[in-house]
């Protein structure tokens, strides 16, 4: 019996060691990768969103909204590919906060789209101004005389739209605020077009200043 004790003790130690090995948590390298993936996504999203906002600066414009929607949707899909259950607690918190922020962004963009659609009749000329601003971002060459004719036509349409809106009996304050943002964005779009070409393109500089001032004050 005395000879069996060392053998039993050795077996007991082996079983204990096996249990410890089985109970070990995931390797630190795996945890680090999961944690790093969450932070990496958050950092990339912040950088990508900042770049989009700096490039698509026109408030309430369809192109800006579509780009931001695509960005948030894409990052939500990337986030869902991570194994939430394998993340450490602090990374799970980051995951949930990031997910919530992306979902809030998408809801706000959907709200913007809905309100813009309800005020669309007040800005029947908006798409043409957005198109001019898009060409400006691409650095497209323009014909000054054609731009001048277009701006004169836009000035008349803006004046007519203003009269139509002023005749409305009542305007929802939320829609009024959205319309104000759209008007500011359109004004900013035309300003960016004018400042980009004026004094650099001789043809533009000859034809456009007066029609632009007329439109800007319409």
Interatomic CA distance for residues 9 and 136, integer angstroms: 83
- Quick one: which of 138, 131, 115, 103 has its CA closest to 190? 131
Q: Where are the alpha helices (DSSP H) in the chain?
A: 4-23, 28-55, 62-80, 89-118, 126-138, 144-166, 173-197, 202-207, 209-216
Tokens 């919530």 sit at which residue? Answer: 100
Interatomic CA distance for residues 153 and 57, integer angstroms: 25
| pLDDT tens for the chain, residues 1 to 218 | 444 444 434 444 344 444 333 344 445 455 445 557 899 999 999 999 999 999 999 999 999 999 999 999 999 999 999 999 999 999 999 999 999 999 999 999 999 999 999 999 999 999 999 999 999 999 999 999 999 999 999 999 999 999 999 999 899 999 999 999 999 999 999 999 999 999 999 999 999 999 999 999 98
- pTM, rounded to two decimals: 0.80
Q: Tens digits of per-residue pLDDT, 177-193? A: 999 999 999 999 999 99
Q: Where are the alpha helices (DSSP H) in 56-143?
A: 62-80, 89-118, 126-138
Interatomic CA distance for residues 89 and 165, integer angstroms: 54
User: Do 214 and 151 meet the contact criterion of CB atoms below 8 Å apart?
Assistant: yes
């Amino acid at each position: 019996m005395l000879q069996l004790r060392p053998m039993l003790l050795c077996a007991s130690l082996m079983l204990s060691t096996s249990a410890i090995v089985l109970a070990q948590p995931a390797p630190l390298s795996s945890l680090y990768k999961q944690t790093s993936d969450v932070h990496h996504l958050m950092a990339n999203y912040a950088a990508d969103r900042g770049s989009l906002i700096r490039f698509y600066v026109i408030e309430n414009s369809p192109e800006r909204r579509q780009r931001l929607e695509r960005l948030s949707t894409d990052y939500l899909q990337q986030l869902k590919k991570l194994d939430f259950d394998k993340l450490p607690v602090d990374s799970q918190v980051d995951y949930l906060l990031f997910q919530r922020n992306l979902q809030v962004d998408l809801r706000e963009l959907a709200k913007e789209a809905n309100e813009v659609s309800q005020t669309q009749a007040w800005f029947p000329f908006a798409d043409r101004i957005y198109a001019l601003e898009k060409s400006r971002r691409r650095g497209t060459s323009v014909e000054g005389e054609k731009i001048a004719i277009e701006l004169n036509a836009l000035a008349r349409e803006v004046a007519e739209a203003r009269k139509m809106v002023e005749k409305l009996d009542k305007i929802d304050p939320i829609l009024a605020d959205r319309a104000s943002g759209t008007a500011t964005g359109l004004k900013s779009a035309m300003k960016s077009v004018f400042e980009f070409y004026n004094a650099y393109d001789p043809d533009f500089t000859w034809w456009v200043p007066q029609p632009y001032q007329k439109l800007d004050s319409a």
